[in-house]
C-alpha cells in the first residue's frame, strides 16, 4: 500500500482521534471506547454492504459468533483470553463462509431475507442452548478473566487504548482490502455484477471472500466487546443488532473507510443526548436518518468526498 494522501489522511485522522479522546472528559472517553469497538462492527458491515453491495440483515450473528466464541471459551471452558479471542474470530469466519455458501446463491431482497433467517436461527440457537449461554439473560465474564497479554481490559485507560488500536486496525485493514485486487473486484461487483462476471472474474468467490472478511471482522468486534465490557447476551444476536451497523454505515457514508466510525459516533450521541429529553429517542434517531437519506444520501463522509475530496476512500 503506497503512502498516498488517502492513507496518510486516515492515519492522521486516527491519530487525531486518539489525541481528542485522550483529552475528553472521563464520561466521553468511556463512550468512545464503546463507539470505537462498535465502529469495528460497522467497518465489517461496510466491507459487505458498502464495497460489495451485499445488503445483509444477518450481521448480528457474526458479531455474536465472536461474542459467544470468546465468552463461552473464556468463562465456561476457562481458556486463556488470547486463545478465546482467536477462537471467536474463527467462529465468525467459519460461520460467514458457511452462510455465504448458501446465501450467496441469492441476490437482492432474497439475500436480505436469507441472511435475516440465518441470523434468527442463530438467535434461537443461543436461546435453545440456554444451559450454557444463559439464553436471553446472558452471563458475565468475570473481571479476573478479562486480561489480554497480561493487560487488564477492565481498566478504563486500557479499554480506551485497546479500542483505538482495534478501530485503527480495522480502518487500515479495510483500506488494504479495498486497494487490493480483491477490493477492486468487489467495487466492480457493486457497480455492475453482470459486467464483472462477463469480464471473467469469479464473482461468487469474490463475494464469499468479502463476506468471510466481514464476518471475521464483525466477530473480532463482538469478541472484543465481550472482553472489554464483560457481558455476553442474546440481545446482541437479535435483529436490531443487524440493523444498527446498516444505519451506522448509511449515516457515515457507504463505501468510505472512515464513514462507519463517524456514523457510529453520531448515532451513539444522537441517542445519548436525545434520551435525556424524551423516551422517544429512537424516533428522533429515525427522523434524522430519514432526513439524511433524503438530503445527504451518500452519508456524511460520502458527501464530503463528492463535494470536497474525491480522493477519500
Q: Are 82 and 145 in contact (CB under 8 A)?
A: no
Examine residue 229 and tell whether it contacts other proteins (CB under 8 A). yes
Examine residue 136 and tell whether it contacts other proteins (CB under 8 A). yes
Among 149, 181, 279, 294, which residue sits at the site for other proteins (rule: CB under 8 A)?
279
Q: Are 293 and 278 in contact (CB under 8 A)?
A: no
Examine residue 125 and tell whether it contacts other proteins (CB under 8 A). no
Q: How many residues bind other proteins (CB under 8 A)?
A: 44
Q: Is 49 or 241 the residue whose CB approaches other proteins more closely?
A: 241
> Closest approach of Cβ 249 to other proteins, in Å?
18
> Closest approach of Cβ 213 to other proteins, in Å?
25
Query: Which of the stretches 22-30, 88-96, 167-175, 184-192 binds other proteins when contact is defined by CB under 8 A?
Result: 22-30
Among 137, 151, 180, 198, which residue sits at the site for other proteins (rule: CB under 8 A)?
137
Helix, strand, coil share of the chain (percent; to 5): 75, 5, 20
Q: Which residue has the cell 463505501?
A: 255
Distance of CA 254 to the CA centre of its chain: 13
Q: What is the DSSP string of 56-71?
A: -S-HHHHHHHHHHHHH
CA dist 117 and 115 (Å) reads 5
Q: What is the DSSP string of 127-154?
A: HHTHHHH-TTT-EEPPGGG-EETTEETT
Query: Which of the stretches 64-72, 82-90, 169-177, 275-283 binds other proteins when contact is defined by CB under 8 A?
Result: 275-283
- Residues in the site for other proteins, rule: CB under 8 A? 16, 20, 23-28, 30-31, 34, 124, 127-128, 130-131, 134-141, 143, 154, 156, 229-231, 233-236, 271-272, 275-276, 279-282, 308-309
Amino acid at each position: 500500500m503506497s503512502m498516498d494522501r488517502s492513507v496518510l489522511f486516515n492515519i492522521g485522522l486516527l491519530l487525531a482521534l486518539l489525541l481528542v479522546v485522550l483529552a475528553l472528559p472521563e464520561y466521553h472517553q468511556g463512550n468512545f471506547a464503546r463507539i470505537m469497538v462498535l465502529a469495528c462492527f460497522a467497518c465489517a458491515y461496510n466491507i459487505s454492504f458498502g464495497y460489495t453491495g451485499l445488503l445483509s440483515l444477518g450481521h448480528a450473528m457474526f458479531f455474536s459468533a465472536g461474542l459467544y466464541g470468546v465468552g463461552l471459551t473464556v468463562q465456561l471452558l476457562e481458556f486463556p483470553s488470547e486463545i478465546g479471542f482467536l477462537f471467536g474470530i474463527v467462529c465468525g469466519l467459519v460461520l460467514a463462509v458457511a452462510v455465504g455458501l448458501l446465501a450467496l446463491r441469492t441476490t437482492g431482497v432474497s439475500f436480505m431475507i436469507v441472511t435475516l433467517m440465518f441470523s434468527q436461527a442463530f438467535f434461537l440457537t443461543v436461546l435453545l442452548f440456554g444451559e450454557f449461554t444463559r439464553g436471553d439473560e446472558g452471563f458475565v465474564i468475570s473481571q479476573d478473566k478479562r486480561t489480554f497479554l497480561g493487560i487488564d481490559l477492565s481498566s478504563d485507560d486500557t479499554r480506551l487504548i485497546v479500542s483505538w488500536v482495534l478501530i485503527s486496525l480495522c480502518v487500515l485493514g479495510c483500506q488494504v482490502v479495498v486497494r487490493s485486487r480483491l477490493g477492486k473486484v468487489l467495487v466492480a461487483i457493486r457497480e455492475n455484477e453482470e459486467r464483472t462476471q462477463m469480464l471473467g472474474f469469479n464473482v461468487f468467490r469474490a463475494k464469499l471472500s468479502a463476506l468471510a472478511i466481514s464476518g471475521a471482522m464483525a466477530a473480532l468486534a463482538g469478541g472484543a466487546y465481550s472482553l472489554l465490557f464483560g457481558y455476553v447476551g442474546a440481545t446482541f444476536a437479535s435483529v436490531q443488532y443487524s440493523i444498527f451497523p446498516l444505519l451506522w454505515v448509511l449515516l457515515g457514508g457507504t463505501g468510505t473507510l472512515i464513514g462507519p466510525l463517524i456514523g457510529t459516533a453520531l448515532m451513539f450521541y444522537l441517542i445519548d443526548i436525545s434520551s435525556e429529553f424524551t423516551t422517544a429517542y429512537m424516533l428522533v434517531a429515525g427522523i434524522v436518518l430519514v432526513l439524511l437519506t433524503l438530503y445527504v444520501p451518500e452519508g456524511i463522509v460520502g458527501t464530503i468526498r463528492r463535494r470536497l475530496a474525491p480522493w477519500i476512500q
